[in-house]
Structure 1
Amino acid sequence: MIESNHHESVLFNESIKGLNIKPNGVYVDATLGRCGHTKGILNNLGNSGKVIGLDQDMDAINYAQVNFPDSRLTPIHCNFSNLQDILSQLNLLGKVDGILMDLGISSPQIDNAERGFSFMKDGALDMRMDQTQTITAASWLRDSSETEIANALFQYGEEKRSRIIASSIKEYQKNNDLNSTLELANIISSVVRPGKKKHPATRSFQAIRIAINDELKKLSEALEQTIDALSPKGRLVIITFHSIEDRIVKQFIRKHSRPKQLPKGLPVIANDESECLLKDLGKIKPSDEEIKVNRRSRSAILRLVEKC
């Protein structure tokens, strides 16, 4: 077994129930992680069921290969924005009964200081979800202009102090190489007051991570691909952890779950031009009990849709 910090899958029971698993079905865990949700899917599958597990983090793929040597599970190293290509290669496009996307960063990723995601532990300023990509947080902060950094902090982290943070980073870089997480956290803490429950660097670290991994664009691309990937009545479960991601998911669901608008005055007719592609089955938030056990679940929202 590969040693790893424990990762508690958020909204686990709700996710498995939402997928409405068929014993012989085909499922995609688009964010494999430490296989928490995948294990739940496998436990509900028969011998002929399949799970395609995608993850851009090689640590997750290696973990799955060593710890889950199950013939029903196929782990694949890729970003979920390649969903359609992968399913086409496997001859499974349009044959998938359920897709799960858990958009949260995992506990092992945060707790491994060398991955650079944590502002609480000193480590390399990395933040790459996919270790094969070349751009790190350190190189992005070095090569980006003050304006580019400020815009990213505001857009992806909703950080009100984005301009002064960006200015402070560039001022520091005039005389120093910025290569560690605690260096960056200290720069931010010098110009941002701590919140009641949030570290001053929380929003900025989130924004930089989103920027260097191009997370929002890839999420939008992956969501659009789920429609062709799913079979009729196939389910899509998406768990988000901050408002920016959730807004993208809501817009995607709204876009495909409403009939196309006909010219004013004409009735909406259910035909090929106006049929909804998705049925919105609602949202679920963690219970108070789950939040007590796993504090990182407090901001999670699960949204569930079914292909028409």
Structure 2
Amino acid sequence: MKKLLAITNHFNPSPEVPLIFAETPKGMEIHSSFWNQLLYFYDGKNKHTLFFETNKKPNDLTPLDKYDGLYIRSDGPVDNDTMSIVLREAERRNIPKLGFHPYVGGSRIGSKADTMHFCNTNLDMLFPMSFFGKYTMIEKYFDTIVKKIGLPFVCKPNNLSKGRGVSLIHSKKELKKYFSEILEEYGTKKSYFLAQKYIKNKGDVRVLVIGKKTHAIRRYTEAKDEFRNNVSLGGETQKITISTETKKLMKKIVKKLNLDFAGIDYIEYGKKQIFLEVNRTPGLTGVSGAHNKNMFKETMDYIYKKIK
């Protein structure tokens, strides 16, 4: 019996995680834990041990080396030191790591702005014209930003997902109100933002990559007062076919970012692809529905093959 340790986030856990785990095949057992349910022990010499509380042993500790694989999700804030130690210890023990990988070539790739910078400088991917900084700086230099990217512009917290906190800004007064509401709802940890040029569109493309397989959909919204196309916010989906060249690019992006799974979003702007985001913990519901295929099972089958 293969044992998989699945570490997810206790803060705002994704409702899709249980749907993935429900597809666990015979011959594999999943032990679930949260990032805040571990103890790290160093013996003062050269032995390091990570212990986890899990759903199988809620009041006991199980060492990391009892597992055959590690499935990682980060659907919210995670202490960087915690994640670094877990990933290094798994690597030292040759335990396969699947899911969210924040490190590429020794460098940590963080949230939206960091991913955008990495993808543009390493893969020549084009993104909307953007400013990134703490909310105080974006507010202070509002006029400078408007001169460059115009009004309205899109403002989004640097480390939220599924369209949460994304807004279309039409004035400085509206920006101040927006910052006040976001900081009140999510706290000061969400104080860094991206301000991006707004590009009108009739929907964006989401390409779900699972291993070497790609599944594409067009996401769009028909709501009059909504510009976000996210499925989690009620967006519609349509199965589409992408070119062989685009498929190769999607796989290249995933390989460069050292990922097993990704949701890559872009807008077709003339003959160009303007990328919006590379989501390293992508939602599966919209693609499953549009393709009439169980992406939760496909994800779990991929994990199982990797740890066999």
Q: Give TM-score scaled by structure 2 length.
A: 0.30
More helix by share: 1
More strand by share: 2
Q: Give TM-score scaled by structure 1 length.
A: 0.30
